[in-house]
Structure 1
Amino acid sequence: MLIRLFAVFGFFIAVACNNSSRTDGNRQSTKAQPDTAAVPSITKNILFFGNSLTAGMGLESQTLAFPGIIQHWIDSLDLPYRVINAGLSGETSAAGNERIDWLLNEKIDIFVLELGANDGLRGIPTEETQKNLQGIIDKVTTKYPDCKLVLTGMMIPPSMGGDYGKAFSAIFPALAQKNNMVYVPFLLEGVAGESALNQQDGIHPTAEGHKILAENVWQELKPLL
């Protein structure tokens, strides 16, 4: 679980889905017509890798979390993508760097990274967080060089200290630029600090809040599909 943020400054990103399936089309041909063989339809995988935001902590169903909402939009457009929600409450960048390996046993075509908030709230040195996140990215690109990458930026409350906050926030655009990643500056844009869109803890979005999170990610993710 994420460490509690102050309600007004309760934002931290600015951040990861089901098993993949393969659907093979049937080849059809007739003697009276030219060959109209159907090209096999292959479902591609989008891995959302993050913490309790990705996991949809506090919601009745994971389908109500922003990755699940994005899956619904993908299905409505009849796009050949399957969302894999690999969010885990309380995840730090170090734990994520250890956990990512087994998730890569399944082919990943798009990787959405939403991690780091728990590092910031625990005051972990920014150099360590950046190193761990880079490690995760390196593992993904080493195994799947053609995988498209998306990164959500993060922020921490001023109570953590101004200098630390600036250094922490700077991690994410630097990683995005270095690794040629599509960048979502702030996942909680339009939700952070809005009591009506957050659960009682003031940190985790409600189902309505997750719809806004989905929109924030979708506008950057959709062009990749």
Structure 2
Amino acid sequence: MFFNSFRYGAGRVRVQWAISLAAMLLVALSARPAAAQTAQAAPAQATRTILVMGDSLSAAYGLSPAQGWVALTADRIGSSKPGWRVVNASVSGETTAGGAARIAAELQRHRPAVVVIELGANDGLRGLPLAQTRANLEKMIQAAQANKAKVLLIGMRMPPNYGPEYTQGFEQNYTALASQYKTALLPFLLEPIALDRDAYQADNLHPVASAQPRLRDHVWKALEPLLK
């Protein structure tokens, strides 16, 4: 009886051990595909930011924000450049001094991979010294590049009534800085609509909504190569 009980008890141990082993193997086998899937899954692509530092021309003055060239550019990027987003930090009435004062905080807040600088028009309209405008733009470029961001510098031009010395010097600020710091350059934001009176609002300064897609396409030619 004792022998039979021992055999029965030993048998139960072997059966239970076999069941436990089978269960462990089943768990291990079922876990392997999940582990393989985890190893093979591509990591999520981090979103990279384009920071636009501009004035009223980029802030969609007189329009709804969605109608401006920056928002239209963001729409295009959303559909054609996954992994990128646009932050519009433009302020109507902004000068280069204002941009230079704000850029450190904006860089820290958004950590952009690309910085678009569209400033200077208000400096020119106020007749501010060219050296002052250049120094402010230079400070912004240096700050962006110190944060390892690519820079697109968007230029502006002044009407001829400011005199040839001022208008030429104003334009040359952008080309000289772009050359010195090896930035991308769009010499004149309003070039596609400069001679089209119907493209402007009643103030003759700010483009209407129907002109914004033309500005978007103009900027895109200089911006798109930086998104690689």
User: TM-score, structure 2 length as denominator?
Assistant: 0.81
Highest Rg: 1 or 2?
Answer: 2
Partner of 1:153: 155
CA separation in 2, counterparts of 1:132 and 1:171? 11
* 1:140-187 per-position Cα deviation (integer Å, ceiling 9, x unaligned): 222x12x11101111001111111111111000101111111111211
Aligned ranges 1:171-186 → 2 under 5 Å = 171-186=173-188
CA separation in 2, counterparts of 1:31 and 1:193? 63
The 1:129–1:33 alpha-carbon spacing in structure 2 relative to 1, beyond 3 Å, is: closer
Partner of 1:115: 119
Q: CA contact under 8 A between 1:193 and 1:202: conserved in structure 2?
A: no
The 1:169–1:41 alpha-carbon spacing in structure 2 relative to 1, beyond 3 Å, is: same
Q: CA deviation at 1:38?
A: 2.1
What is the percent sequence identity of the aligned residues? Answer: 39
Show structure 2 runs of 5+ residues with no match. 1-32
Partner of 1:129: 133
* 1:191-217 per-position Cα deviation (integer Å, ceiling 9, x unaligned): 123122111111101111111110111
Paired residue total: 194
Q: CA deviation at 1:218?
A: 0.4
- The secondary structure found in structure 1 opposite 2:158 is coil
Partner of 1:4: none
CA separation in 2, counterparts of 1:37 and 1:31? 10
Q: CA contact under 8 A between 2:138 and 2:177: conserved in structure 1?
A: yes
Partner of 1:217: 219
Q: CA deviation at 1:34?
A: 9.0
- The secondary structure found in structure 1 opposite 2:87 is strand
Aligned AA (2:48): K
Q: CA deviation at 1:65?
A: 0.9
CA separation in 1, counterparts of 2:38 and 2:145? 41
Higher relative contact order (CA 8 A, sep 6+): 1
Aligned AA (1:76): S
Greater mean deviation of Cα atoms: 169-178 or 97-106: 97-106
* 1:66-118 per-position Cα deviation (integer Å, ceiling 9, x unaligned): 11111111111142111001111111111211121211122110000000111
Greater mean deviation of Cα atoms: 148-157 or 186-195: 186-195
Q: CA deviation at 1:35?
A: 3.7
Partner of 1:138: 142
